[in-house]
Amino acid sequence: MIPRSRAHPWWMLAPTLVLLAAFFIVPIGVAGFESLFAWDLLTAPRYVGAANYRAIVAHGWLLAIALRTLAYSVLVVSGTMASGLALALLVNRPGRLFSLVRASVFSAYVVSWVAVALLWMTLLDDSGGLVTHGLRAVGLGGVSLLGDPRAALPTLAAIGVWKLTGYSMIVLLSGLQSIPPSLHEAAALDGAGAWARFCHVTLPALAPAAAFAATTTLVTSFQAFDVVRIVTQGGPARATQLFVYAIYEQIFLDLRVGRASALTVVFFFLLLSLAWLQLRALSSSGRSS
Amino acid sequence: MPFSDRTGYRLPASRARRELLAGLLATFASVGCGRPARPRRDGNRTVVTFWYAFGDLVRKVLLDLVERYNQSQPDVVVRPVHQGDYFEALAKLRTAIAAGVSPPLAHVVLEVLPYLARAGVLEPLDGYEGAGELGLVPALSQIGSFDPGAPRITVGVPLNRSTPIAYCNARIFQQDGVHIPTTWTELSDAAKTLTQRSSGSVTRWGFEVPISWWYWVALMGQAGGRLVEPDGTMSLGGAAGEAALELWQRLVRTDRVMRPPPGGDYQAWQSTSEGFLQERIAMMWSSTAFLRYLEGSARFPIVAAPLPRASRSSVPTGGTMFVLVRSAPEEEKRAAWSFVRWMCEPAQAIDWCTRTGYMPVTRRAVAALGENGFYVRHPNDRVAIAELEHAQTWPWAPDLFRVERDIVEPLLQQAVLTGRDAHEVMQEARELAREPA
């Protein structure tokens, strides 16, 4: 379709561009500007230059938050992809039972993070939670999954995996069902066993769907907030203080708009870099296929 | 998309677009302008929106009192709006004040008053009718809660005031022949005796307290320290602050007689209460605010006791103060003040404290409770009042709230949970506290 005038495409794009500018570009610009000030919302802002950036870098705080968030994301993405693939392979067959299993697993993804967080808080409760009872029964009663700084982050990631597995399962299932049966038949005729067919036919054919599921899960895990806010509030001893929660805590609880803005700017560029890397990986895999 | 006016007449598209745009702009403008210049009214009554931060039993008691106030007079109607816990409510209040859409009346934790007062967002209350005749308990009033050098301008009136107290499971104490500890040494010994183990794991903890600022301040004060030195240096108690932290480390890590409760903020407090009620904890420290709830929920007799001493007895006071937002319309502020005064009257002050566990905030309420034998019938309620004799005052430090949340509390947790050296941790806390905000 050829536009009747040069302006037409821009008019078509205008609503999206306006929303993008209003809710993404301008706020990031504002955050960048405010990161140069010490401000608590109520008193007059004071220009401090790069002091907020120096402050978040000092004492290794920024690095700790970035590494913690990365560790959480790695756990969530790898856990979600592994369990999603296993479930997709398991339920990729006809029948009501498997439809029910698919729907059941996916239902966790539809439930809100708040409900999921509250549910898991009850299950993990130190005094009477079901998981705690189970751990006691197998002789692991001394472990406080949310109270021990070493266990809290993996526990939080496990909640994320439980919630997001349904999503990756559905995406991978669609990938599995789009693989032509003729590929498997040809490989079988060539003498390939089940494991060889899985490694050399199924996995390569699943790559685009897996890349999509991994990318979107990565972005979701980087934005984790609700589950941290409700289950651990960043504790114990900051062991679960992830990026978005740290920003929230700085601006709303610790009264530091400038420092929160500096964190936001760093977070923006971190996500931008990750998205760029993902896009590069996707485009190179697209070229090779 | 067809556009039409109210009569259904179809408008020309260009005019309809203009009107739609104008409508949208008007909507945005009305939101952006923030607080209406005129007070809000409901018929002839002035509406006072009151942001509060209580849950469960305390919330019910407050709503009952508000309802009673609304029925008691024809001029003012108070509309309470729940805003989460103290910290969530404060975050919302600050944001609302900045956006110009705050309510005229709220309540905030004591430690944040200096910060809000410095920001100039709180209404000075001394000039309001009857402000000097509230008859507040001195240690619970704003002036009495802060160091003598603090400004003498009143911006807060006590609503719910508390101190930490010890809650003991009387049945377990009696079974194990343990006396209520009055010193740190006795506390450690009692916790050891009360802790029960089965095949290596703990089945009942002797003692529990949330690893949080308020309780650390209590311990630091008992060890003889103060948060801010007379010259204004934020010392965080110096050696006393370290001794307080070392006590926790010893109980949790060396003796293994205290469980650090999971969760942050009030989640840890709730977890401690639950463990105590389930008799998985024999003794805990918590706020006097939970007294009625715990007494009503426990299947065992509870004995409340003052916190033990180290070199001296000392407790911080806590809770919140009513504040009026300065930018609110005058009429709403006057109406809000009439509610605050009404809450300080003996009948309401007594109802509030006897139904919750908070301390009565006026002298007349304390006297009335003494005269009618309430403290004889409820000796646990007298503990917090008696502790006021050893109440420490808070420094009037606008950065105190930030130091508490951003620095001290996470470092305390880190030291207790990971065993990091107490001196090193407190040294880091002091350095961070002295950095500019």
Question: Mind listing the pLDDT tens digit for each residue in A191-232?
Answer: 888 899 989 989 999 988 998 899 889 988 998 999 999 898
- Closest residue of chain A to B406, computed from CA coordinates: A254
Cross-chain Cβ contact A238/B201 below 8 Å: no
- Identify whether residues B323 and B303 lie together within a single domain: no
A110: closest CA of chain B, how far (Å): 26
Of B83, B150, B99, whose CA–CA distance to B400 is shortest? B150
Q: What is the distance between the alpha carbons of residues B168 and A256, in angstroms, rounded to a whole number?
A: 40
Inside any domain, residue B19: no
Cross-chain Cβ contact A253/B87 below 8 Å: yes
Share of chain B above pLDDT 70, in %: 90
Q: What is the CATH classification number for the domain harbouring B116?
A: 3.40.190.10
- Identify whether residues B181 and B306 lie together within a single domain: yes
Q: What is the distance between the alpha carbons of residues B245 and B408, in angstroms, rounded to a whole number?
A: 11
Cross-chain Cβ contact A149/B98 below 8 Å: no
Where is B315: in which H helix or E strand? strand B315-316
A109: closest CA of chain B, how far (Å): 25
Q: Determine the structural domain holding residue B334 and report its residue range.
A: 41-162+318-384
- Identify whether residues B270 and B292 lie together within a single domain: yes
Inside any domain, residue B31: no
pLDDT category at B85 given cuts 50, 70, 90 is confident
- Identify whether residues B132 and B117 lie together within a single domain: yes
Segment A86-125, tens digit of pLDDT: 999 999 888 888 889 889 989 999 999 999 999 998 888 8
Q: Pick the residue of A143, A254, A259 with the most B CBs within 10 A to test the interface with B by mutation.
A: A254
- Identify whether residues B297 and B413 lie together within a single domain: yes
Q: What is the distance between the alpha carbons of residues B388 and B381, in angstroms, rounded to a whole number?
A: 12
Burial B146-166 (b: 16+ CB within 10 A, else e): beeebeeebbbbbbbbbbbbb
- Identify whether residues B310 and B329 lie together within a single domain: no
Sign of CA dihedral B292, B293, B299, B303: negative
Q: What is the distance between the alpha carbons of residues B405 and A224, in angstroms, rounded to a whole number?
A: 21
Q: Pick the residue of B115, B216, B253, B413 with the most A CBs within 10 A to test the interface with A by mutation.
A: B413
- Closest residue of chain B to A39, computed from CA coordinates: B437
DSSP assignment of B348-382: HHHHHHHHH-PBP-BHHHHHHHHHTTHHHH-HHHH
Inside any domain, residue B16: no
Cross-chain Cβ contact B94/A128 below 8 Å: no
Q: Which of B116, B202, B263 sits opposite A146 (nearest CB)?
A: B263
- Note the pLDDT of residue B263: 66
Inside any domain, residue B3: no
Segment B337-387, tens digit of pLDDT: 999 999 999 999 999 999 998 999 999 999 999 999 999 999 999 999 999
Q: What is the distance between the alpha carbons of residues B413 and A237, in angstroms, rounded to a whole number?
A: 5
Cross-chain Cβ contact B98/A42 below 8 Å: yes
Q: Do strands B302-305 and B164-169 pair parallel, antiparallel, or not at all (unpaired)? A: antiparallel
Cross-chain Cβ contact A147/B95 below 8 Å: no
Cross-chain Cβ contact A147/B261 below 8 Å: yes
- Closest residue of chain A to B263, computed from CA coordinates: A232
Question: How far is C-alpha B246 from the chain's CA centre?
Answer: 26
- Identify whether residues B188 and B311 lie together within a single domain: yes
pLDDT category at B9 given cuts 50, 70, 90 is very low
- Identify whether residues B359 and B375 lie together within a single domain: yes
- Identify whether residues B119 and B210 lie together within a single domain: no
The pTM of this model reads 0.82
Inside any domain, residue B219: yes
What residues of B are in contact with residue A40 (Cβ under 8 Å)? 94, 115, 119, 437
Q: Which of A127, A144, A147 sits opposite B278 (nearest CB)?
A: A127
Inside any domain, residue B126: yes
Inside any domain, residue B340: yes
Cross-chain Cβ contact B262/A146 below 8 Å: yes
Segment B109-160, tens digit of pLDDT: 999 999 999 999 999 999 999 998 999 999 999 999 999 888 889 999 999 9
- Note the pLDDT of residue A278: 75
What residues of A are in contact with residue B401 (Cβ under 8 Å)? 255
**ipTM over 0.85 threshold:** no
**Measured between alpha carbons, how far is residue B310 from residues A9, A143, B203, B425 in Å?**
77, 32, 29, 21
Q: Spell out the per-residue pLDDT of chain A, length 289, in tens.
A: 677 888 888 999 999 999 999 998 999 999 999 999 999 888 889 999 999 999 999 878 899 999 999 999 999 999 999 999 999 999 988 888 888 988 998 999 999 999 999 999 888 887 678 888 888 777 776 677 888 888 999 999 999 999 999 999 999 999 999 999 899 899 989 888 889 998 998 999 998 899 889 988 998 899 899 999 989 888 888 899 999 999 998 888 887 899 999 999 999 998 888 878 877 776 766 555 5
Residue B398 has pLDDT above 70, yes or no: yes
B26 versus B328: which is more confidently predicted?
Answer: B328
Q: What is the distance between the alpha carbons of residues B116 and A42, in angstroms, rounded to a whole number?
A: 8
Residue B35 has pLDDT above 90, yes or no: no
Cross-chain Cβ contact B201/A38 below 8 Å: no
- Identify whether residues B343 and B360 lie together within a single domain: yes
- Average pLDDT (B215-237) is 93
Inside any domain, residue B29: no
Share of chain B above pLDDT 90, in %: 73
Sign of CA dihedral A252, A255, A149, A273: positive
B238 versus A285: which is more confidently predicted?
Answer: B238
- Average pLDDT (B62-83) is 96
pLDDT category at B270 given cuts 50, 70, 90 is confident
- Identify whether residues B156 and B182 lie together within a single domain: no
Cross-chain Cβ contact B98/A41 below 8 Å: yes
Residue B18 has pLDDT above 60, yes or no: no
Q: What is the distance between the alpha carbons of residues A134 and A141, in angstroms, rounded to a whole number?
A: 9
Give chain B's domain count. 2
Cross-chain Cβ contact B264/A234 below 8 Å: yes
Report chain B's mean pLDDT, rounded to a whole number. Answer: 89
Residue B286 φ then ψ, to 5°: -155, 180
- Closest residue of chain A to B411, computed from CA coordinates: A237
| Chain B interface, Cβ < 8 Å to A | 87, 91, 94-95, 97-98, 115-116, 118-121, 200-202, 211, 259-265, 267, 271, 274-275, 278, 280, 401-402, 405-406, 410, 413-414, 417-418, 428, 432, 435-437
- Identify whether residues B295 and B282 lie together within a single domain: yes
What residues of A are in contact with residue B200 (Cβ under 8 Å)? 142
Letter for the amino acid at B121? V
C-beta of residue B207 within 8 angstroms of C-beta of residue B251: yes
Cross-chain Cβ contact B202/A126 below 8 Å: no
- Note the pLDDT of residue B264: 65
- Note the pLDDT of residue B29: 44
